Structure 1
Amino acid sequence: MIEIERKFLVHSEAFKNEAFKQTRICQGYLNSNKERAVRIRIKGNLGFITVKGPSSSSGLSRFEWEREIAQDEALALLKLCEETVIDKIRYEVQVGEHIFEVDEFFGDNQGLIVAEVELKSEIETYIKPDWVAKEVTGDVKYYNSQLSKNPFKLWK
């Protein structure tokens, strides 16, 4: 139930040619507090509820609990969520032994593309693809829960 991941900004769309899967995701937050975020997500035709705890001091790991729920329940819960709902396409790209999940955002976060790689430990090595740029692991402004409060369009 501990999630360990690194997060990067993406500087080119080359990942799209390497992706083996893409899925539309719509998600909102019943609670976007950084200490305990509660997310509702529709990923393709599936619904999910997720609870995330605070990040470690390195920003690499945090508690995460997720369960699948019926899509109609997820749709009903999205109506109760905080103001901005996140709309994105997630691309999955195999890089070496790891899968990078690349999120291309739309709506109020249009123009932002972020890649994440999940690891088994904080010191696990991985291959960094050419299309990733600056690492933003632990930078809370890139958490989806924060993007729902302070969207990318307001940063410039």
Structure 2
Amino acid sequence: MIEIERKFLVTSDAFKEEAFTHNRIKQGYLSSVPERTVRVRIKGNKGFLTIKGISNQSGLSRFEWEKEIPADEAEKLLLLCETGVIDKTRFEVKTGNHIIEIDEFYGENEGLIMAEIELQNETDSFEKPIWLGEEVTNDKRYYNAYLSNNPFKNW
């Protein structure tokens, strides 16, 4: 139940040619407090409820609990969420033994393209594609909960 991930900005849309899947995602936050974010997500035709704890000092690890819920229930929960629903397409690219998830944002966060890679441990190495840019793992501005309240277009 510990999520270990690194975040990067993406420098080009070349990843789209390498993607083996992509899904539209709509998500909102019942709580965007860093110590306990509670997220409602609709990914494709599935709903999810996710609770995340605060990141450790390196920004790489944090508690994460997620359960699939019916999509119609997720739609109803989105109506209860804080202002600032996130709208994005997630592309998935295989690199070595890992999957990189690339999010292309729309609406208030248009222009932001960010990649995340989940790791087995904090020192796990991985192949870095050429389109993977600056690491922003420990920059709180790039957390989706932050983006929902402080959109990229306002930076």
Question: Which band: TM-score by shorter chain?
Answer: over 0.9
TM-align CA RMSD: 0.4
Do residues 125 (structure 1) and 154 (structure 2) align?
A: no
Residue 41 of structure 1 aligns with which residue? 41
TM-score by length of structure 2 reads: 0.99
SS of the aligned residue for 1:29 comes to strand
SS of the aligned residue for 1:148 comes to helix
- Shift of residue 138, structure 1, vs aligned partner: 1.5
Q: Which runs of 4+ in 1 moved over 2 A?
A: none
Q: Aligned letter for 1:143?
A: Y
Residue 57 of structure 1 aligns with which residue? 57
Residue 27 of structure 2 aligns with which residue? 27
Do residues 79 (structure 1) and 79 (structure 2) align?
A: yes
Structure 2: gaps (5+ residues): none
Residue 104 of structure 1 aligns with which residue? 104
TM-score by length of structure 1 reads: 0.99
Q: Name the % identity.
A: 64
Structure 1: gaps (5+ residues): none
Aligned-partner Cα distance in 2 for 1:99–1:49: 22
Residue 67 of structure 2 aligns with which residue? 67
Deviation string for 1:56-88 (max 9, x for gaps)?
100000000000011111000000000010000
